[in-house]
Amino acid sequence: MKISVLYLGRLECKKYHLVECDDHNEMIKSPILSILIEHPVLGNILYDTGNSPYYTTEYPSSTLETYPIAEFISVEEALKEKGLTTADIDMIIMSHLHFDHAGGLKYFAGTKAIKNVFVSEAELKNAFCQVMTGQPGAYVKSLFDLKDIQFKTINEETELAEDIRLFIQNSHTPGVVGMALETKSRGNIIVTSDTIYTKESYLAELPPGGPINKTRKEFYDNLNRVKAMEKEYSAALLFGHDYEQVLEWNKIGFIE
Ligand SMILES: [Zn+2]
């Protein structure tokens, strides 16, 4: 198995939206990432797809005001750098369906991957319920309600292969799919996605300050679960939107 962290640009927003802090004017760079897994049995897997190329018109203006997109790199471009096209991807795993994760799904129209999109059932229900009832939030219907898309839902911990396990986190949204990977060169890696945005949030145990999490309890319950997993598997953690970490992992090239 070969894992590459793809850097898909960044948002620049008020830091307190990601990590609680006193200064509500402090800014933070929030990277957009996707993970490419070239797997000997399952083929090419992509975890998350980044922003939509049409974000200026497709996203609500309130979203762009709160989370301005400072740099956009398409998942198509990032795959090209790895010598791949969207047609080479066999499976997509969606951590969740917020705009900065689901925006690149449209690049997979007409490919085999669009028929093989893994998501948690709780997340899919939550996303459709929010957009169909007009509730404000980070879901944009046109990003994931695509012609020909076929979701495969999971409800519990799911072993895709011996070295790839998906687990469901009830924090940030009701069903964020986290991923545990077993690598030869770097041991176990746990991908949290947006349940924990940054290393600082994790180490200082600081939840996001904005309204994105429904309760602080969900953040702490999940944080404790991830801490226990980190210990049990002696794992390295990859967070949802940690700028320095994404650049560092992206620079490595690939992990085997
Ligand atoms: Zn996100």
Q: How far is 93 from 214, CA to CA, in rounded Å? A: 24
**Ligand 1 centroid to 43 CA: how many Å?**
25
Q: Would you state the pLDDT for residue 210?
A: 74
Per residue in 14-26, pLDDT (tens digit) is 999 999 999 999 9
Structure tokens that stand for 9 in this block: 């640009």
Residue at 179: amino acid letter? M
Ligand 1: centre distance to CA 167 (Å): 17
Band the pLDDT of 141: cuts 50, 70, 90: very high
What average pLDDT is seen over the chain? 97
- Per-residue pLDDT band for 164 (boundaries 50, 70, 90) equals very high
Q: What is the pLDDT of residue 214?
A: 73
Residue 11: what are its φ and ψ, rounded to 5°? -100, 155
Q: Map out the domains of the chain with their CATH numbers.
A: 2-252 (3.60.15.10)
Supply 119's token pair.
Answer: 């998501």
Residue 114 CA to ligand 1 centre (angstroms):
21
Residues at Cβ < 5 Å from ligand 1 ion: 100, 194
The mean pLDDT of 108-133, rounded to a whole number, is: 98
Backbone dihedral region of 151: left (phi > 0), alpha (psi from -120 to 50 degrees) or beta?
Answer: beta
Distance 194 CA to ligand 1 centre (A): 5
Tell me what the mean pLDDT of segment 34-63 comes to: 98
Q: What's the pLDDT at 213?
A: 72
Beta strands in the chain (DSSP E): 2-14, 27-39, 43-47, 69-72, 91-93, 117-120, 151-154, 158-161, 164-171, 173-183, 187-193, 236-239
| Buried/exposed 7-44: b ≥16 CB within 10 Å, e otherwise | bbbbbebbbbbbbbbeeeeeebbbbbbbbbbbbeeeeb
